[in-house]
């Protein structure tokens, strides 16, 4: 324990508080901007992470329920909701579009759960109507993908801009430090060390903002890609199920 304490006291531990007080006004402004950017990045990562977690759980429950029933419209008829799952939104939009296409043939769109799904009386969708339904499903897949990626651009901005903003503060601070040394006529290290220390603080803060944001962005992007693939796969699965249940080819 004594060895650890002696080692700790021998290390040159820089005080970020004193470095901040030694920095110039532009450097202090940049530090505050980076701190606010860090708060925003953490807010996005936490809220988006929770959103994606809920979406993954609800999507797993939705897929299990959808695949256990032979009728592709059974969940819609029973008014089952899986809040948070983008697949549920895509599914509801597809069923509503299906009801609209069936109504053209005089079938009540409010009664999609039909008793005899193999009956030719209910297999009334044409291939053109199926393509219309597919377009509706694909459009909702794209809309849900945009919802999933909402605010990810801001997080990517924090990842790329924070180091450069910190570097800007450092270069600016070092320039001011050497300018002050030139005006004072003193070449002693003690004359420029506080200013350089304050200037380097902006780089440290910039990296502290960028590194967690980069890790969070990569993790969130991976989850978004996973859910996006699930949406694409479900869209194909749903349209295929509707084709098998409702389309009769002449």
Reference 87, options 62, 67, 70, 68; nearest CA is 62
What is the span of the domain harbouring residue 92? 19-246
**33 falls within a domain:** yes
Q: Is the pLDDT of residue 14 over 50?
A: no
- Count of domains in the chain? 1
**228 falls within a domain:** yes
**10 falls within a domain:** no
Q: Is the pLDDT of residue 154 over 80?
A: yes
Q: What is the per-residue pLDDT across 173-230, written as a single tens digit (0 to 9) for each?
A: 777 776 766 666 655 555 556 667 777 788 888 898 999 999 999 999 999 999 999 9
User: pLDDT-derived band of residue 20, with 50, 70 and 90 as boundaries?
Assistant: low
**71 falls within a domain:** yes
Q: What is the per-residue pLDDT across 51-66, written as a single tens digit (0 to 9) for each?
A: 999 999 999 999 998 8
Higher pLDDT, 174 or 89: 89
CA gap 114, 23 in Å, rounded: 74
CB atoms near residue 234 (< 10 Å):
23
* Global confidence as pTM: 0.79
Q: Is the pLDDT of residue 142 over 80?
A: yes
**9 falls within a domain:** no
Alpha helices in the chain (DSSP H): 2-10, 16-22, 25-68, 74-77, 86-103, 127-148, 152-184, 189-246
**121 falls within a domain:** yes
Query: What pLDDT score does 84 carry?
Result: 86
**5 falls within a domain:** no
């Amino acid at each position: 324990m004594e060895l650890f304490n002696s080692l700790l006291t021998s290390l040159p531990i820089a005080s970020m508080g004193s470095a901040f007080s030694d920095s110039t006004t532009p450097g202090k402004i940049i530090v505050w901007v980076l701190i606010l950017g860090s708060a925003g990045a953490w807010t996005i990562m936490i809220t988006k992470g929770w959103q994606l977690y809920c979406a993954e759980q609800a999507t797993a429950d939705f897929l299990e329920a959808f695949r256990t029933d032979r009728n592709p419209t059974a969940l819609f008829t029973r008014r089952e909701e899986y809040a948070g799952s983008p697949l549920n939104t895509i599914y509801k939009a597809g069923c509503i579009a299906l009801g609209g296409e069936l109504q053209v043939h005089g079938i009540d769109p409010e009664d999609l759960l039909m008793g005899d799904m193999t009956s030719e009386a209910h297999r009334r969708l044409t291939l053109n109507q199926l393509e219309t339904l597919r377009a509706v499903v694909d459009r909702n897949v794209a809309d849900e993908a945009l919802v999933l990626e909402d605010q990810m651009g801001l997080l990517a901005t924090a990842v790329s801009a924070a180091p450069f903003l910190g570097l800007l503060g450092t270069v600016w601070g070092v320039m001011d430090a050497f300018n002050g040394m030139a005006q004072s006529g003193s070449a002693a290290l003690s004359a420029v060390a506080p200013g350089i220390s304050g200037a380097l603080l902006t780089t440290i803060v910039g990296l502290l903002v960028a590194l967690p944001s980069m890790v969070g962005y990569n993790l969130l992007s991976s989850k978004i890609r996973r859910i996006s693939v699930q949406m694409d796969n479900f869209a194909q699965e749903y349209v295929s199920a509707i084709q098998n249940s409702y389309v009769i080819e002449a």
